[in-house]
Structure 1
Amino acid sequence: MLWAVFNLNLPEPEEMREIILDYGWAGFLVFLGITAAIAITPIPITVPALVAGSLYGLIIGTLLSVSGVMLGSWIGYWLARALGQRLTFQLLGSHGSLVENYLRNAGFWAMCTVRLMPGLPYWPVNYGAGALGIKQYAFISATLLASIPGQVSLVALGAFATNPSVFRGAIVIVAWIAVVALTWVSYRYWSRTKRQSEEVDGTRGTDG
């Protein structure tokens, strides 16, 4: 991952468009591969989503972008399961304590909260969830729900840049409102669940 960050230069959106278009009908497979590969590294996944919107439009672009993100996230999850908790958290560095605070003994709503948290990339969440043994169903379902609004907004932005319209601009705004709303809802559920869990643990400790 460190080698990828310092040695791989992610193409600009226009350059990536040309690379994908050169593959003709197989371009969507190339796009999925690029997006999945980026999702398992610290490289931001913004550029592929913008390219998806400019190449494939809002609907197909969103389907492809979300599919690539889900595939890469799932691969990262299982890589962490294979590496083990100690080595994975060494790789996470400064992100490790934040991810562990939210995901230790956590489930669906905690996954949503961390996935939606501003400034926290995808890759530490993928690896942290795998290392901490988050159930695969909770990981996949929360990743899907939390990823859709952000991916829609980025894909719509790419489509808007290629072919501006009021509709595409409105989709960007609505998608980001959905991100904020989901973050608030998931955080409330997570914090309430965590508080109840701590109260139960405290009661057990008193009884003991």
Structure 2
Amino acid sequence: MLAVLLAVATIIALTVNVPGPEEIRDRVAAAGLLGVAVFVLAYAGLSLTPAPASVFSIASGVLFGFVGGALVVFAAAMIAATIAYGISRYLGAEALARYGGDRTARAVAFLRERGLVSVLLARLIPLFPFWLVNYAGGLSGITFRHYTLGTAIGIIPGVLSYVALGAFGTDPLSWPFLAAIAAFLVLTLAGSYSARRMRSSKPMLAEGAGHA
């Protein structure tokens, strides 16, 4: 996915007169708090769906820089996580359970297993999609305090790595950009490895999900 995004960005940069990062940042800064609010709401709304919000995370680094982008993405992600938790916890999410199928059952069972620790691991390692963990948190019955604390701490590495890709992407040989690439690869590989481990223990997880 990252390779495709970088390839498309390169083609566009070579064939289209795209404003540079500084010019884009100046335009966004001119919009003031309204521009930030619109971005946060758009990001939060996207994070409530299966659409990949990582594209917005990278764009945030381009638009707001590393520090500003990280703060914007963190705020938007927490808003989305809170809303989704409330929807699934208090309004029910039968449609989600049917849509996600076995994957939803595994996510719910995983989060229910160790509470705060499970949420932290699910956020640190991209074992399940961000949006799915959001809804599974409410379905699992985990307390809101443990859910929000695990989410707030666990999403930090992912937020920083994606935002850094956008913030430092114009200088691909800089150490911040290389560090972001390394962090992205580590998170991806860890998620792939953990997913394989979970598939191998599928019967155990399915049994845990049956106690919902």
Q: What TM-score, normalized to structure 2? A: 0.68
| Equivalent of residue 57 in structure 2, options 43, 49, 53 | 49
Aligned length: 172
Q: Is 1:120 matched with 2:137?
A: no
- Which residue of the partner structure matches residue 47 of structure 2? 39
Residues 28-37 or 109-118, more deviating: 109-118
- Which residue of the partner structure matches residue 115 of structure 2? 107
| Equivalent of residue 163 in structure 2, options 151, 155, 167 | 155
Show CA shifts across 1:127-172 (max 9, x none).
Answer: 1110121111111111111111111111000012245562422441
Q: Is 1:172 matched with 2:180?
A: yes
CA contact (8 A) 2:162 2:184 kept: no
The 1:85–1:28 alpha-carbon spacing in structure 2 relative to 1, beyond 3 Å, is closer
Q: Within 1, Cα distance between the matches of 2:153 and 2:186? A: 11
| Equivalent of residue 70 in structure 1, options 73, 78, 99 | 78
CA contact (8 A) 2:125 2:187 kept: no
Q: What TM-score, normalized to structure 1? A: 0.70
The 1:94–1:48 alpha-carbon spacing in structure 2 relative to 1, beyond 3 Å, is same
Residues 141-150 or 80-89, more deviating: 80-89
Q: Within 1, Cα distance between the matches of 2:185 and 2:145? A: 26
Percent identity, please: 29
- Which residue of the partner structure matches residue 68 of structure 2? 60
| Equivalent of residue 100 in structure 2, options 89, 92, 99 | 92
CA contact (8 A) 2:43 2:53 kept: yes
- Which residue of the partner structure matches residue 24 of structure 1? 31
Q: Within 2, Cα distance between the matches of 1:85 and 1:61? A: 31
| Equivalent of residue 133 in structure 1, options 138, 141, 161 | 141
Q: Within 1, Cα distance between the matches of 2:86 and 2:128? A: 20
Structure 2 residues not aligned, in runs of 5+: 1-7, 10-17, 195-212
Q: Is 1:79 matched with 2:60?
A: no
CA contact (8 A) 1:85 1:132 kept: no
Structure 1 residues not aligned, in runs of 5+: 1-11, 188-208
CA RMSD, 1 decimal: 3.2
**What secondary structure does 1:161 align onto?**
coil
Q: Within 1, Cα distance between the matches of 2:178 and 2:186? A: 12
Show CA shifts across 1:87-121 (max 9, x none).
Answer: 54224324212112202253111112222333521
Runs of 4+ that moved beyond 6 A: 12-15
